[in-house]
Amino acid sequence: MINFPERLRSARKMRGWSLQELADHVGIISKQALSKYEQGLMKPEEDTLFALTKALGVKADYFLKPQRVILGPIEFRKKASLKVKESASLAEQIRDYLERYLEIEELLQVKSEFVNPLGGKVEVSTYEEVEEAAAKVLNAWQLGINPIPNVIEVLEKNGICVLTISGPASFDGLATMVGQLPVIVLNKEYSADRRRFTALHELGHLLLEINLPDEKECEKYCHRFASAMLLPKEVALRQLGNVRSNISLGEFLSIKKQYGISVQAVMRRAFDLGIINKNYYQFLCIKTAPNRKEESFIKFNFAGESDHSYRFDQLLMRLVSENIVTESKAAFLGGMSVSDLREKLDPVAG
């Protein structure tokens, strides 16, 4: 029962209950005893543990699991409307996934190796330095300047753990470290273009040292990094030209489809690189404002980006194929039912 106090507090907060409310739901434990459990001053007996499990609606092994993932500082790409309770719930989902991910790696005795492509966290203080850092990453990861076929796959191949979850609309993504493991979390409810951009924005947070007092400015640096990864400067200039006074929607859509970057981001890229001036950029923003989510551009969506981790699925299949764990345990580690696991394992059987 390592980390029992933290697990108890976390499960209670997930329910949004006070100590008194939890005591009321359990029925056989006082608020004072619960407080002592949460402070680590007392350990519950097995029957009390069972009662807590039932009251909190968690699985039997929730309090029995030995490890507890400690998330590093979290860099959120979110809207201000993300509520505290939603943040706590997201953190719990991420911990749950990472605990399962790390347990799979431990059972298989494999480990992700992350080597920072910039040799270490690089301090940037200008947009030019951000552009240079993005170019270095593309070069180090041998991506060239062609469209990145699948951002999630590239990140995983280079030792970054990527997790996609169904989050509230106010959440885009986040980056954090778990020990030496860099982790990027994405909201799978968003479009492929947006997930690609967010994933690379979060990569910016992981790789760059941005010492600016203004948080919004830091976010702009990471936006710039993501844009430079998806549409490198020389590609943008080649596709759009050095200076333009008018660009058709068709041109933006063509780039969106080919490079997996939103029209909004291409417009911004054109402005950042001086291809269009501020007035024209503002005109384009107003013109496209009713369609900011680009829902009517569906047929120009990028094909190829995945909405889930490949590595996680592959490791899970390996666990079952190599008879390392039971199917039921594999289903638990995969966060799915046995029935769903069987569909994955034997998609054509039956």
Binding site for another protein (CB under 8 A): 46-47, 49-50, 53-54, 59-61, 64, 66, 103, 107, 323-329, 331-332, 337-340, 342, 345-346, 349-350
Our CB check for another protein shows the closer of 58 and 143 to be 58
Our CB check for another protein shows the closer of 14 and 345 to be 345
Least distance (Å) from another protein to the CB of residue 55?
13
Least distance (Å) from another protein to the CB of residue 153?
28
- Listed in order, strand segments (DSSP E) in the chain are 75-78, 122-124, 161-165, 171-178, 181-187, 208-210
Q: Which residues of 21-49 are buried (b: 16+ CB within 10 A; e: fewer)?
A: ebbebbeebeeebbeebbeeeeebeeebb
3-state SS class at 289: helix
Contact 267, 281 (CB under 8 A): yes
Our CB check for another protein shows the closer of 284 and 331 to be 331
Our CB check for another protein shows the closer of 47 and 295 to be 47
Angle at 106 between CA 185 and CA 69, to 5 degrees: 45
Least distance (Å) from another protein to the CB of residue 107?
7
Which amino acid makes up residue 172?
D
Our CB check for another protein shows the closer of 88 and 324 to be 324
Least distance (Å) from another protein to the CB of residue 324?
7
Least distance (Å) from another protein to the CB of residue 348?
9
Least distance (Å) from another protein to the CB of residue 289?
43
Our CB check for another protein shows the closer of 54 and 157 to be 54
Assign residue 196 a region (left: φ > 0; alpha: ψ between -120 and 50; beta: otherwise): alpha
Tell the burial category of 211 from Cβ atoms under 10 Å away from its Cβ (0-12, 13-18, 19+): exposed
3-state SS class at 40: coil
